[in-house]
Amino acid sequence: MTAPQTLDCKGLLCPLPVYKASQALNRLQPGQLLRVECTDPGSLADFPALARQRGDTLVSATEQGDVQVFVLKKGSE
Amino acid sequence: MAVRIRNRRQSDRMTSARNDAGPRKLASDLSRRRYGDVRELIASPENPTPLVRLNRVLAPAEGYLKLEWFNPFGSVKDRTARALLEGLRARGALDGRELVEPTSGNTGIALAALAALDGLRLTVTIPSGVPEEKLVLLRMLGATVMPTPDELCPVDNPRDGAIALAHAVAESPAHAGRYVMPNQYANPDNVRAHYETTGPEIWEQTEGRVRTFVAGFGTCGTITGVGRFLKERDSSIRIVAVEPQRGHRLPGLKNLQESKPPTILDRSVIDDVIHVPDEPAYAMAKRLFREEALIVGPSTGAIVQAMRELDGETHGLTVGISPDGGQKYASFYRDILGEEGMAP
C-alpha cells in the first residue's frame, strides 16, 4: 500500500483544515487514505464530524506535540 | 460626501493621465450618460437608480421599487463594495494584500469588478444554494471562489460556514497578513454607503413623501443606513425589515435566528419585522415578472410580498428595495418553475 497523501494545514484556523480536507477527499478514490496535519485545537471536534457527515472513516486521530494528525479513509460512492 | 468626492477625483486623475498620453478625450457628463470609467455608473444622489411604481401587484396602495440592478455590476452591493474599498484604501489596509470576503454572490461580483480595475486579487467564500450563474460571473471576473457546504461548521451556526471560512483565510497564522477582509457584516462603511447614497436618493426621488421603507435582513447595511437617514429626516417614517423563514432558500436574505445578527445592524431604526416564507416570495417574484414586467431576483419577491402585507392606507407611500435582477437566477428559477411554461 502506498503512503497516504498528506495535507499540511499547520497554522490554518478552523474551518479551513476541514474545507481543504473535504476538497482533497473529493479527489480521492474510495478506500484511499488522506493524512492531515493541523494545529488548530478545534480540529479535534471537526474531523470526526466531517468524516461522519461525508460517510468517510476517521482511521486515527493522534497528537504529536502541538500537531494533531488525522488519517481519513474515503468511503464508497 | 466622501463617496462622490473621491469618485470625481479618481475620474479626473484618470482623464488627465489619458490626456497626457494623447489627444484630449471627452470628459464625463452624467446628463449625456457618458462616463469615463464604469465606476462612475455606481449610483449616487446625482445618478440615482430608478424608482418605479408598482401599478398592479400592490394596487390600490402607492408603492415603488428601487431597482438596484441598474448599478453597473448588477446589484445594490455595488454601493457597498465601493464604500468598503474606499474605506480600506483610506486606512492603508489594501497595500500589497489580497481580499477575502464571504458573500452570497452580489458583493463578490461587485468587489471582483472593482478589484479587477485596481489590480487586486479576490477570494470569495460562498454559502450553499448560490446559483451557478453567480459563481461563473465571479470566475469570469478573475476571482477565486470557495463554495462552502452548510455542514462545514457543525459546531457553530451551520448557516454561517462561509463567514467562518473567510475569517479563517484572513486570520490564519500561516497566511501571515497576506489577506484583508472588507467584512460587509461588521464594517460601518457598508452602512455609510446607504446613509450617503441610497437614503438621500429615496428622499429626493419621493420629494420627501416616503412614509414606509422596506428592505431585507441580509448584511443589514441597507436597512440600517437607509433607515437611519430617513429617521433623521422624519422620525415617523416606518422602517420595515423582511426576514425569511429558517432553512429558507432566498439568496442574500438572512433569518437572524439561524444566522448571527450582523454587528452593523441597528435595531433602533427598525419599526417592524415581517416574516415571509419562500413560497409566497417565489409567487410574488413570478407576479412581478408577469404583471409588472420586472425581471427581479428572488429576494425582491420577498420584499414586495411584505409590502403587500402592509396596509397601504395607513402606511402611505412605500418604497421597497429590489436588490438585484433576475438574469443571474436562471437555474434557481428553473427549479421553482418545474414543468410550468413547457409546451405539453
Rounded to two decimals, the ipTM of the complex is 0.91
Three cell numbers, residue B69: 440592478
Among the listed ranges A16-30, B142-156, B307-321, which one has the minimum average pLDDT value?
A: B142-156
Domain ends where: B127, B160, B180?
B180
What is the pLDDT, as a whole number, of residue B130?
A: 83
Are B118 and B152 within one domain?
Answer: yes
Q: Best interface-test mutation with B: which of A9, A14, A47, A66 has the largest number of B CBs within 10 A?
A: A14
Q: Fold for domain A5-73? A: Translation Initiation Factor IF3 (3.30.110)
CA B252 to chain centre: 8
Give pLDDT, residue A40. Answer: 94
Residue in A10, A15, A49 closest to B168 by CB: A15
Query: Average pLDDT of chain A?
Result: 92
Instruction: Place B21 in a pLDDT band, splitting at 50, 70 and 90.
Output: low
User: Whose grid coordinates read 443571474?
Assistant: B328
Give pLDDT, residue B104. 77
Q: Residue B174: list chain A partners with CB under 8 A.
A: 10-12
Q: Are residues B277 and B290 in the same domain?
A: yes
Residue type, B198: T
Please give, rounded to a whole number of angstroms, the shortest distance from the CA of B255 to a CA of chain A. Answer: 22
Is the CB of B172 less than 8 angstroms away from the CB of A15?
Answer: no
Same domain (yes/no): B287, B197:
yes
Task: Work out the pLDDT band at A1, boundaries 50, 70, 90.
Answer: low
pLDDT given for residue B266 in this prediction: 98
Determine the residue type at B317: L
- Where is the domain boundary, B163, B180, B197? B180
Highest mean pLDDT among A35-44, B74-83, B120-129 belongs to B74-83
pLDDT score for A20: 95
Cβ contact A12–B172 (<8 Å): yes
Q: Which of B165, B171, B174 sits opposite A15 (nearest CB)?
A: B165
CATH of the domain at B104: 3.40.50.1100
What is the spatial distance between Cα A51 and Cα A28, in angstroms, rounded to a whole number?
Answer: 14
Q: Do B90 and B239 sit in the same domain of this protein? A: no
As a whole number, mean pLDDT of residues A3-11 equals 92
Q: Which residue from B159, B171, B122 is spatially nearest to B260, judged by alpha carbons?
A: B159
What number of other Cβ atoms are within 10 A of residue A29's Cβ?
Answer: 7
* Structural domains of chain B, count: 2
Could you give the percent of chain B with pLDDT greater than 90?
81
* Residue of A38, A22, A23, A18 lying closest to B153 (CA atoms): A18
* Position B157 confidence tier, pLDDT thresholds 50, 70, 90: low
Same domain membership, residue B53 and residue B108:
no
Q: Give the type of residue at B310.
A: L
Distance of alpha carbon B127 from alpha carbon B112, whole angstroms: 17
Distance separating alpha carbons of residues B79 and B71, to the nearest angstrom: 8
Does A15 have pLDDT greater than 60? yes
Condensed to tens digits (0 to 9), the pLDDT of residues B33-74 reads 999 999 999 999 999 999 999 999 999 999 999 999 999 999
pLDDT, tens digit, for every residue of B286-339? 999 999 999 999 999 999 999 999 976 677 999 999 999 999 999 999 999 999
B321 plus B244 within the same structural domain: yes
Residue B152 has pLDDT above 90, yes or no: no
Domain map (residue ranges) of chain A: 5-73
pLDDT at B8: 47
Residue A63 has pLDDT above 80, yes or no: yes
Average pLDDT on B94-111 reads 94
- Predicted pLDDT at A24: 95
- Average pLDDT on B198-202 reads 98
pLDDT at residue B22 in the model = 74
Give the per-residue pLDDT at A4.
83
B247 and B331: one domain? yes
Query: What is residue A8's predicted lDDT score, i.e. its pLDDT?
Result: 97
Average pLDDT in chain B: 91
For residues B165 and B311, state if they share a domain: no
Neighbours of B56 (CB within 10 A): 11
Ranked by mean pLDDT, which of B26-30, B289-293, B308-312, B340-344 comes out on top?
Answer: B289-293
Catalytic residue among A4, A6, A10, A14, which?
Answer: A14
Model confidence pLDDT, tens digit, residues B218-251: 999 999 999 999 999 999 999 999 999 999 999 9
What integer pLDDT is reported at residue B127 of this predicted model? 84
Q: Which of A10, A11, A19 sits opposite B165 (nearest CB)?
A: A19
Number of residues that this document lists for chain B: 344
Q: Are residue B59 and residue B131 in the same domain, yes or no?
A: no
The nearest CA of chain A is from the CA of B143 a distance in Å of 18
For residue B325, give the DSSP letter: B
Same domain, B243 and B305: yes
Q: What was the pLDDT predicted at B2? A: 45
pLDDT tens string B257-277: 998 999 999 999 999 999 999
**pLDDT tops 80 at residue B32:** yes
> Which residues constitute the domain of residue B228?
41-75+187-336
Q: Please indicate, yes or no, if residue B344 is contained in any of the structural domains.
A: no
Question: B167 with B60, same domain?
Answer: no
Handedness of CA B181, B183, B189, B193 (dihedral sign): positive
